[in-house]
Amino acid sequence: EDQVTQSPEALRLQEGESSSLNCSYTVSGLRGLFWYRQDPGKGPEFLFTLYSAGEEKEKERLKATLTKKESFLHITAPKPEDSATYLCAVQGGSGNTGKLIFGQGTTLQVKP
C-alpha cells in the first residue's frame, strides 16, 4: 500500500536557524513527489515537483531533494513568514488518475 510519513510532526526554529523536513515514502512506481505549503484557513499551495532520484528544486529559502526512499525540504535561514504546515505527497504508477497520497505534514514555527 502506498504510504507517506513526514517527520518531525512539529518544528520550532529561531529566525535564521536552518533545518530540514523529512518525507519518507513507499509507493509502487513513483511518478512524482510534491511539496505543498498550507497556511491556517487556506488550501495547500503547490511548491515543488520532483520526478526522479537525485533531482533538486529551489525556491527562495527552500530546497527540495529526492532519493529513492525519501525527500527532504531544506529551509535555509528561515524567516517568521515561513511558518506554515508543509505537506508531502506522492503519485504512484497504479492507474493514470493523478491521485495524491499525502503525509500528515510538518508544522513549522519560526520565531523572530
**Using CB under 8 A as the criterion, which residues of the chain lie in contact with other proteins when the complex forms?**
31-32, 34, 36, 38, 41-46, 49, 51, 85, 87, 89, 91, 95-100, 102, 104-105
Report the 10 Å Cβ neighbour count for 7.
Answer: 13
The least distance separating other proteins from the CB of residue 97, rounded to whole angstroms, comes to 5
Closest to other proteins by CB, 5 vs 18, is 5
Closest to other proteins by CB, 67 vs 104, is 104
The least distance separating other proteins from the CB of residue 111, rounded to whole angstroms, comes to 21
Contact 35, 47 (CB under 8 A): yes
Closest to other proteins by CB, 53 vs 100, is 100
How would DSSP label each residue in 55-83?
Answer: -EEEETTEEEEE-SSEEEEEE-S--GGG-
The least distance separating other proteins from the CB of residue 71, rounded to whole angstroms, comes to 14
Q: CA 30, 73, 111 angle in degrees (round to 5)?
A: 150
Closest to other proteins by CB, 54 vs 95, is 95
In Å, how far from its chain's centre is CA 2? Answer: 16
